[in-house]
């Protein structure tokens, strides 16, 4: 297996029902029991696609702590611990840092930089970084300082306020492949880097996918996205994500791969 072999996940906080919600508040209250069951199935799916999963317990003081992706950007043997664009979430980074220090060379982002890991999409040796509500230019600059010496090109992508994170509208479930929600970003961003599979606007939530070893995780209930990825040659595993979505979360949000 090339690339990451491990995934770091964190259990749901007892206060997950108080998670920061902006985009899906209209979908009603979170069912914590159902959310935990969905998270457990997600963890099993990571194991199914070949990853060794490291578990951190949830923290009752941190409602959003299960969304570990935002706390770190990892490539090779280097991890950049981010400074979240949401101040209330910054304490989440400490536990993530302690685990990654066991395996990686860890760097720490400092003020005034802000960056959420959900704003960083790696496509080959390019890191696209969304700049919007959660990530600023200073955060993108520290990302560049950290990873350009390791062979990456950094490409900023301005985001409107309607998009929470870059990976809310695009993701890369396999090398050379990008899933992009229609009407969000210019597909030409990825010219020469990846084949772009455009999915309909009504399935935008499914633009956030995960994958390795020829398998892709997608949220259930988005048949056109599933069909497009199967047509691209991937084995698709559908996961129910209703209660994670209600917390403004998606598939990539729930793990850090390293």
The DSSP-derived string for the chain is --S--EEEEEPPPTTGGG---SSSGGG----HHHHHHHHHHHHHHHHHTTPEEEEE---TT-TTTT-GGGGEEEETTEEEE---SSGGGGGGHHHHHHHHTTTSEEEE--TT----GGGEEEETTEEEEEESSS--HHHHHHHHHHHGGGT-EEEEEE--TT-SSGGGTEEEEETTEEEEETTTS-GGGGTTT-EEEEE-GGGGGGG--EEETTEEEEETT-HHHHHHHHHTTPEEEEE--HHHHHTT--TGGG-EE-
- Into how many domains does the chain fold? 1
Catalytic one of 65, 170, 212, 253: 253
The pLDDT of residue 2 is 65
Residue 156: inside a domain, yes or no?
A: yes
Residue 75: inside a domain, yes or no?
A: yes
Catalytic one of 65, 165, 170, 212: 165
Quick: pLDDT tens for 92-149: 999 999 999 999 999 999 999 999 999 999 999 999 999 999 999 999 999 999 999 9
Q: Which domain holds residue 154?
A: 6-257
Distance CA 206, CA 30 (A): 20
Residue 1: inside a domain, yes or no?
A: no
Give the residue among 70, 49, 65, 58 at the shortest CA–CA distance from 5.
Answer: 49
The pLDDT of residue 23 is 75
Cα 92 → chain centroid: 15
| Residue 253 annotated in active site | yes
Residue 1 has pLDDT above 70, yes or no: no
Quick: pLDDT tens for 147-205: 999 999 999 999 999 999 999 999 999 999 999 999 999 999 999 999 999 999 999 99
Give the residue among 56, 53, 120 at the shortest CA–CA distance from 84.
Answer: 120
Q: With pLDDT > 90 as the criterion, what percentage of the chain qualifies?
A: 95
At 251, is the pLDDT very low, low, confident or very high (cuts 50, 70, 90)? very high
Calculate the average pLDDT of the chain.
97
Residue 167: inside a domain, yes or no?
A: yes
At 252, is the pLDDT very low, low, confident or very high (cuts 50, 70, 90)? very high
Residue 11: inside a domain, yes or no?
A: yes
Would you say 219 and 238 are in contact if contact means Cβ atoms under 8 Å apart? yes
Cis, peptide link before residue 112, omega less than 30° from 0: yes
Residue 58: inside a domain, yes or no?
A: yes
- Taking CA atoms, 33 is separated from 10, 40, 155, 243, in Å, by 16, 11, 40, 9
At 225, is the pLDDT very low, low, confident or very high (cuts 50, 70, 90)? very high
| Residue 165 annotated in active site | yes
Residue 65 has pLDDT above 70, yes or no: yes
Residue 136: inside a domain, yes or no?
A: yes
Residue 246 has pLDDT above 70, yes or no: yes
CATH code (residue 235):
3.75.10.10
Residue 205: inside a domain, yes or no?
A: yes
Is pTM beyond 0.95 here?
yes
What's the rounded mean pLDDT across residues 31-39? 99
Distance CA 245, CA 251 (A): 9
122 Cβ contact partners less than 8 Å away, ≥ 6 residues apart: 75, 128, 152, 172
């Amino acid at each position: 297996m090339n690339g990451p072999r491990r995934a770091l996940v964190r259990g749901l906080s007892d206060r997950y029902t108080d998670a920061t919600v902006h985009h899906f508040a209209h979908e009603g209250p979170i069912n914590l029991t159902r959310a935990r069951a969905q998270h457990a199935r997600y963890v099993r799916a990571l194991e199914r696609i070949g990853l060794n999963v490291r578990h951190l317990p949830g923290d009752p003081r941190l409602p959003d702590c299960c969304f570990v992706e935002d706390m770190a950007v990892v490539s090779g043997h280097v991890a950049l611990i981010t400074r979240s664009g949401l101040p209330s979430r910054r304490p989440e980074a400490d536990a993530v840092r302690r685990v990654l220090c066991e395996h990686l060379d860890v760097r720490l982002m400092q003020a005034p930089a802000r960056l959420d890991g959900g704003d960083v999409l790696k496509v080959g040796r390019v890191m696209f970084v969304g700049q919007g509500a959660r990530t600023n230019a200073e955060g993108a600059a520290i990302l560049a300082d950290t990873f350009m010496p390791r062979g990456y090109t950094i490409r900023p992508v301005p985001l409107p306020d309607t998009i929470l994170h870059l990976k809310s509208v695009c993701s890369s479930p396999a090398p050379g492949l990008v899933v992009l929600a229609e009407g969000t970003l210019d597909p030409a961003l990825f010219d020469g880097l990846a084949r772009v599979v455009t999915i309909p606007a009504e399935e935008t939530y499914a633009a956030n996918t995960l994958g390795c070893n020829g398998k892709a995780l997608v949220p259930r209930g988005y048949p056109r996205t599933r069909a497009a990825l199967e047509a691209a040659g991937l084995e698709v595993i559908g996961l129910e994500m209703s209660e994670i979505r209600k917390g403004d979360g998606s598939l990539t949000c729930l793990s850090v791969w390293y």
